[in-house]
Amino acid sequence: MEMNITHPIARNTERPLVITGPCSAETEEQVMKTAQMLVDHNVPVDLFRAGIWKPRTRPNNFEGIGFEGLQWLKQVKDTYGFKVTTEVANTQHVFEALKVGIDVLWLGARTTVNPFSVQEVADALKGVDIPVFIKNPINPDLGLWRGAIERIYNAGITRIGVVHRGFSKFGQTKYRNVPQWQIPIELKRDFPDLMMVVDASHICGKRDNLYDVSQKALDLSFDGVMLEAHCDPTNAWSDAKQQVTPFALKEQILDRLVLRKTGEDDPDFQHDIEDLRGQIDAIDRDILQMMGNRVNVAKKIGEYKKANNIAILQQSRWNEIIESTMEQAKPLDLSKEFVSKFLKAVHQESINHQERIMQSDTSSKKV
Ligand code: PEP
Ligand code: MN
């Protein structure tokens, strides 16, 4: 399906995109204080987040303050000029969020996983022009993630981005949700221009590693980060272990992040890399030519073996080749695994040619 998706929010290409704010809106004071602290610490906020309705795995946890919290987001928008975003999971959420002027909506991991819910949100969004971020489903299923993008797109939403927040697993691991980077990378191959943000908070589940996971995502050409920040993280009503203060967010994470260049618009980089790529191409051509030469010699040996009725595989000769090549590879910084795999593949190609020669019907040629 040909899709015409554009970025949900403008991106300053000099720095990573930053979506931050508390996991949940708890009180008016907590929301406003967090926003104020973000301003005080010069955090570049592209989008201020706060969950209003919280999908909790088990009951009796804080399930979100509900629609009255939307007013506090509106207050953040009016007071600080931040664009604001919240999670929506059903028709009611969409209507309430649109009514107060929330700028951007997001679909949570527990919504993306369920096509009924995604379709319900998509139906509620028909005819509405609002950007939407779509988190990955809680299980590592690329199809569900793609499916959610398609359902929202089919509702007429074209400003779509995705948030990678890791995948559920059973048992103890370093991460609360394992990143499985190959899945967002695969999604990016399908949708090369899709804005992609890493939610390091939900991947890590604790304050350690937030920087490492964020930097790793930038190294993989993600556009930015979603990081939960709270005025008083340890006393947060949800996700207390993973939230950071606006100060820590700035000093310990954002200020240390490095945006690697793609090199596309840098002429020096292009020149240097072109030169090196040219060298690689020339070497590859030589290797190929040498392989062709090698096969020609192997074919001659095959003819000789055939004429003299000698078996193709000479084990002692093969052992000799392996040993001497391994010895020659030592100073070349080539791993043993590679050299062994390479030799086997090269040898197999010779054997295949020689077998063909052995099996060819020479009597027919004589006729
Ligand atoms: C959240 O962003 O607070 C949240 C509930 O995230 P997720 O849907 O990724 O679990
Ligand atoms: Mn959270």
Residue of 176, 197, 199, 213 to mutate, ligand 1, most atoms within 8 A of C-beta: 199
Mean pLDDT of the 252-269 span: 82
Q: Is the dihedral of CA 274, 276, 278, 280 positive or negative?
A: negative
Residue 351 lies in a domain: yes
236 and 362 in a single domain? The answer is no
Question: What lines the ligand 1 site, CB under 6 Å?
Answer: 23, 51, 108-110, 135, 165, 199, 202
- Residues 311, 358: contact at Cβ < 8 Å? no
306 and 248 in a single domain? The answer is no
- pLDDT at 305 exceeding the cut of 70: yes
Distance of alpha carbon 76 from alpha carbon 101, whole angstroms = 12
Give 115's pLDDT tier (boundaries 50, 70, 90).
very high
Number of domains in the chain: 2
Residue 4 lies in a domain: no
181 and 205 in a single domain? The answer is yes
CA of 56 to the centre of ligand 2 (A): 10
Predicted pLDDT of residue 262: 66
Mean pLDDT of the 185-205 span: 95
Query: What's the mean pLDDT when you consider all of the chain?
Result: 93
- pLDDT at 78 exceeding the cut of 90: yes
Name residue 49's beta-bridge partners.
Answer: 85
- Residues 73, 50: contact at Cβ < 8 Å? yes
In one-letter notation, the amino acid at residue 146 is R
Give 276's pLDDT tier (boundaries 50, 70, 90).
confident
pTM of the predicted structure, to 2 decimals: 0.75
DSSP state letter for 255: G
124 and 222 in a single domain? The answer is yes
104 and 239 in a single domain? The answer is yes
CA of 127 to the centre of ligand 1 (A): 26
Mean pLDDT of the 129-149 span: 97
What is the separation, in whole angstroms, between the first and last Cα of the chain?
59
Predicted pLDDT of residue 303: 92
- pLDDT at 364 exceeding the cut of 70: no
Last residue in a domain, options 216, 233, 256? 256
Beta strands in 204-289 (DSSP E): 224-228
78 and 172 in a single domain? The answer is yes
Predicted pLDDT of residue 337: 85
Mean pLDDT of the 194-222 span: 97
Residue 11 lies in a domain: no
Q: What CATH number is associated with residue 331?
A: 1.20.59.10
CA of 135 to the centre of ligand 1 (A): 8
Residue 29 lies in a domain: yes
Give 313's pLDDT tier (boundaries 50, 70, 90).
confident
CA of 362 to the centre of ligand 1 (A): 72
76 and 177 in a single domain? The answer is yes
Residue 167: name the closest of 145, 188, 147, 148 by CA.
145
Q: What is the pLDDT of residues 28-65, one digit of tens each?
A: 999 999 999 999 999 999 999 999 999 888 888 899 99
Name residue 17's beta-bridge partners.
Answer: 224
Nearest ligand 1 atom to the CA of 23 is 3
185-211 core/surface letters (b: 16 or more CB in 10 A; e: else):
eebbeeeeebbbbbbbbbbbbebebbb
Q: What CATH number is associated with residue 224?
A: 3.20.20.70
- Percentage of residues in the chain with pLDDT exceeding 70? 97
> 3-state class of 229 per DSSP?
strand
- Residues 298, 353: contact at Cβ < 8 Å? yes
Residue 8 lies in a domain: no
Question: Phi and psi at residue 54, in whole multiples of 5°?
Answer: -105, 120
Residue 284 structural domain? 267-366
Whole-angstrom CA distances from 185 to 10, 29, 285 are: 22, 39, 30
Q: What is the pLDDT of residues 320-347, one digit of tens each?
A: 888 888 888 889 988 888 998 898 899 8
Least confident range of 78-82, 106-110, 154-158, 343-347: 343-347
Report the 10 Å Cβ neighbour count for 106. 28
Give 14's pLDDT tier (boundaries 50, 70, 90).
very high
Name residue 227's beta-bridge partners.
Answer: 20
133 and 84 in a single domain? The answer is yes
Name residue 134's beta-bridge partners.
Answer: 107, 162
Distance of alpha carbon 360 from alpha carbon 367, whole angstroms = 14
Last residue in a domain, options 224, 256, 288? 256
How far is Cα of residue 24 from the mean position of the Cα atoms in its chain?
Answer: 25
209 and 287 in a single domain? The answer is no
Q: Is the dihedral of CA 40, 52, 237, 170 positive or negative?
A: negative
CA of 343 to the centre of ligand 2 (A): 52
Predicted pLDDT of residue 264: 66
229 and 315 in a single domain? The answer is no
246 and 321 in a single domain? The answer is no
Distance of alpha carbon 186 from alpha carbon 169, whole angstroms = 20
Residue 339: name the closest of 320, 315, 359, 323 by CA.
323
130-157 core/surface letters (b: 16 or more CB in 10 A; e: else):
ebbbbbbbbebebebbbbbbebbbebeb
Distance of alpha carbon 180 from alpha carbon 227, whole angstroms = 19
Predicted pLDDT of residue 279: 79
Q: What is the pLDDT of residues 80-107, one digit of tens each?
A: 999 999 999 999 999 999 999 999 999 9
Distance of alpha carbon 127 from alpha carbon 256, whole angstroms = 41
Mean pLDDT of the 201-217 span: 97
Residue of 84, 138, 162, 165 to mutate, ligand 1, most atoms within 8 A of C-beta: 165
In one-letter notation, the amino acid at residue 307 is A
Least confident range of 1-5, 87-91, 201-205, 273-277: 273-277
Residue 5 lies in a domain: no
213 and 298 in a single domain? The answer is no
Residue 6 lies in a domain: no
Residue 318 lies in a domain: yes
Last residue in a domain, options 199, 229, 256? 256
In one-letter notation, the amino acid at residue 313 is L
Sort strands 224-228 and 195-199 into parallel, antiparallel or unpaired. Answer: parallel
Distance of alpha carbon 310 from alpha carbon 31, whole angstroms = 84
Predicted pLDDT of residue 366: 38
Report the 10 Å Cβ neighbour count for 79. 12
Tokens of 91: 């028709």
In one-letter notation, the amino acid at residue 250 is K
